[in-house]
Amino acid sequence: MKTLIFATAAFAVSTTVFATPARYSIDPAHTYPSFEADHMGISTWRGKINKTSGKITFDKTTGKGSVEVEIDLASIDFGLDTLNEWATGDTFFEVSRFPKAIYKGSLTGLKPGSTAKATGTLTLHGISKPVVLTISAFKCIEHPMFKRDHCGADATASFKRDDFGLDAGKDYGFRMDVNLRIQVEALIDE
């Protein structure tokens, strides 16, 4: 009996110590960061990004991992063509110089049914600043068509856009707060 208990304990320790994080690719057809920003203090503008890609490395045993996401700023969509053109032009995002926003972070506490964090750096408009994502509604299932692990979550964060040199409207009293919401799905790599 002692041998069985020792063998079981040794197996549990060895699988925990040698657990290998799995690598997932973000599903661009099911991942759309959206955001809210002030418009002259009288309304809130909302928009989304239509093209996002990236990788997530995740160890289900420890709940730890890493995330790297690229956001194509040319795909910004406010639902208003003239605002999209302005936002991607030389007076705001300057997409010709800074075509992507990149988020790199480390994941902790990622377990189904719990709230987790991604602590990392957002690079936007050529400036890098720390941003913490709060991750909720995390869940993994077997993808019904691909028969591979498929995970999803909702993430939120807030930051000041003028920290990234995006201060258009500040002189007119626009608040610089941006609320970010991300629905993300990722499929384990083969």
Over the stretch 149-167, which tens digit does the pLDDT of each residue have?
999 999 999 999 999 999 9
CATH number at residue 102: 2.40.128.110
- The rounded mean pLDDT for the chain is 89
187 pLDDT exceeds 50? yes
Residue 83 located in a structural domain: yes
Non-local (6+) Cβ contacts of 163 within 8 A are 127, 129, 176
Q: How far apart are CA 72 and CA 56, in angstroms?
A: 18
In this prediction, residue 5 carries a pLDDT of 41
Structural domain range at position 105? 21-188
- The answer as to whether 14 is a domain residue is no
Q: Is 144 inside a domain boundary?
A: yes
Instruction: Give this prediction's pTM.
Output: 0.85
Asked if residue 5 belongs to a domain, the reply is no
140 lies in some domain? yes
Q: Is residue 7 part of a domain?
A: no
Average pLDDT value for residue range 165-172: 94
* 110 lies in some domain: yes
